[in-house]
Amino acid sequence: MVLEEVIVTATKREADVQDIAISISTLSGDKLDVFASGGADIRFLRSRMPSLYIESSFGRAQPRFYIRGYGNTDFDLNASQPVSLVYDEVVQENSILKGFPVFDLDRVELLRGPQGTLFGRNTPAGIVKFDSVKPSQETDGYARVSAGNLGSFNFEGAIGGRLSDSWSARFSAMYMTRDDWVDNINGFTGQKQGELEGFDEWATRLQLAYDAGGNFTALLNVHARDLNGSARLFRANIIKRGSNDFAADYDRKKIYIDGDNFQKLNSHGASAKLIYDFGRVSLTSVTGYESVEVFSRGDIDGGYGAAFLGPGNFGPGFIPFPAESAGSVPDHSQFTQEFRLSSNDWGRLDWQAGFFYFDEDLTIDNFGYSTLGGGVQDIWDRQNQQTRAWALFASIDYDVSDRFVLGAGLRYSDDKKDFVAERFQSNFGRPNVGPLYANPADSEVSWDLSGTWIMNDDVNFYGRVARGFRAPAVQGRISFGDTISVANSETNLSFELGVHATLAGGRTRVNFNVFSYTVNDLQLTAVGGQSNVTQLINAKNAKGQGFEFDFESLLTDNFLVTAGMSYNDTEIDDPGLSIFPCGAGCTVLDPPGTTPGTVSIDGNSLPQAPKWIANLTARWSLQTDNGEFFVFGDWAYRSKVNFFLYESVEFTGKALSEFGLRAGYNWNNGRHQVAVFGRNITNEDVIVGGIDFNNLTGFVNEPAVWGVEYQIRVQ
């Protein structure tokens, strides 16, 4: 037995993962099924591949991605991220779209480093790429159902096959639910006044494929999602002052809030991929449409009452004032169109060139509420943004010799935003503000150059240099501030050297690379703090360097081991850059800044950027006359992180280490499977983020989830 060949589309062509001059990792098959057990959202991918981290202060709805420590901590619904997410060849630009559930997937590809030549303007950190299972003429499908603790129940299934000689279809669906399991305690009476942290979520996907054996093929895709449940739970003063330990009275199953908490989301979209084969060249058209609506309301201070009510009328800990808010996207549409020409079997030369168009209209409402006044609305501001962008791109791969392949790409991007913000309702008698306008625009050239030296059929070495580009961004949350902020575009220059090796007669794969990058005019978000205002800023430079390692080995015919590790050393390089630190009484470690009350963040690591990420999986099986017993174990680790741009004792997240386990039995040629599973089986409890303007507020990772699962496959 040998390892299966892994075919990816990282370069918009099918290729063996070992032959691509990019730092790339993939996940597919059993791994995705195992990691997603128990109703996990897309954040289950964090630390599962080297240099990939994902976190969220918005719950299941708005994940924030980081590659090589490079991302964006901004929680605004208009936040721009340097990591792009591409789902079935359609970019998911808005951060809410990036949370679409993971189900019925063929594979996930992680492309590290700038990918601006083929994939666009907002990819300077890299891409997370999802490819669903496509329709075929063969009847194929599955159904998977599980139940577990916390009142969890999950279903996932798909069915597909032939409709006619030319048409095939595949329908996929998933449903997840979990009961409320965190008690909300009335701080004044000590009585339970409700439960939180449950959710109901479903998603569907229908695909139709046309292939009559001629020079035209088509793939149509429609999909939808609906989520209803708790918003992120913020917990007041769960951090022990002077440390990053839990406070003595912290209890994972209890919270003490006096504001509302809920989240509702629905999205839908469609795409069409049309391919015309003209012999020497092919023309591909990819058209995509996405729309999302969301409303999320939460108690941001994470406690009850307020200090100005007098002793005994607030808690847990010191609550200077209440904070309750909501973010909403009532209207959104995204349209994308790509045309690309590509060569077909031109011998030593492969090339592709094309045009890309992006059009997004977005409306965001931000609300504030008077918690102590019965929860009535007392703040309302609105943002409207229209984004129009287009690009021309081209790339080539040329076999200089049988041993050396040269690759190059070039892309011209043009980006323009029309933004307006206005505050219609202000608390405390403040005047309304606006309309305030911003019209940032820029055009940039992205490029990459790579070379691959093929030592033999099993080992190749590669080098790559690439320049990426992120378009200008606007931050228009004016609930408390009276101005908007604009960040100039940023560029990233990255260098990478690596090796892909297949060893032990095809039973082992090893990939290793070292890299360094410099981001000019890095877009950063100064969140909250003493000013309680979120603002965009540009740092002169940020630097990163490190390595990535992937390992997969079939040690015996029934024992498969995989491992990954990365080291990311990041640093902000701007001696004159200062921000306001926390307003929550944390212990700040940075020196004073250039403006009174600020601190210098020069030399700090990037926020939410762990230096170390590691993962390990092991699958052992025992064959029987009728089936197979198996055990699958996994581990994911990330080292400590800074939650914010400044460094402080309290808002430094401890290392997070989570274990998973699955054991079961397959029979009837794999058609049936029954298994028991556990996620975070040691019930690791770690603070993974904070809010710094009111008190030592934090939020925590998911608890242990246990369950039993049955699966049947149609073949």
What are the tens digits of pLDDT across the range 332-361? 999 999 999 999 989 999 999 999 999 999
Q: What is the pLDDT of residue 529?
A: 67
Which residues are registered as beta bridge partners of 264?
Answer: 228, 295
- The reply to whether 349 falls in a domain is yes
1 within a domain of the structure (yes/no): no
Tell me the C-alpha distance between 509 and 501, whole Å. 6
- Give the CA angle between residues 202, 203, 208 to the nearest 5°: 150
Is residue 493 assigned to a domain? yes
Distance in angstroms (rounded) separating the CA atoms of residues 561 and 553: 5
pLDDT for the residue numbered 530? 61
3-state secondary structure of 505: helix
| Total structural domains within the chain | 1
Other C-beta atoms lying within 10 Å of the C-beta of residue 498: 22
Within-domain flag for 2: no
Is residue 465 in a domain?
yes
Query: Which of these, 653, 561, 566, lies nearest to 608 by C-alpha position?
Result: 653
C-alpha 619/C-alpha 560 separation (Å) is 5
Q: Report if residue 169 sits inside a domain.
A: yes
Could you give the CA distance from residue 381 to residue 183 in angstroms, rounded to a whole number? 32
Residues with pLDDT less than 50, the chain: none
Domain that holds residue 238: 7-714
Other beta carbons within 10 Å of 254 = 14
What local confidence, expressed as pLDDT, does residue 627 receive?
93
The verdict on residue 141 lying in a domain is: yes
- Give the pLDDT of residue 534: 81
- Predicted pLDDT at 61: 87
440 cis-preceded (ω within 30 degrees of 0):
no
Instruction: Please tell me the predicted confidence (pLDDT) of residue 28.
Output: 87
CA 337 to chain centre: 23
HEC-encoded secondary structure of 461-472? EEEEEEEEEECC
Q: How much is the pLDDT for 237?
A: 96
Return the CATH number at 319.
2.40.170.20
Strand partners of residue 642: 652
In the three-class reduction of DSSP (H, G, I as helix; E, B as strand; rest coil), residue 19 is classed as helix
Does the residue 180 lie in any domain?
yes
Which among 683, 681, 672 has a CA at the least distance from the CA of 711? 672
Q: With 0-12 CB in 10 A as exposed, 13-18 as middle and 19+ as buried, what is 591?
A: exposed
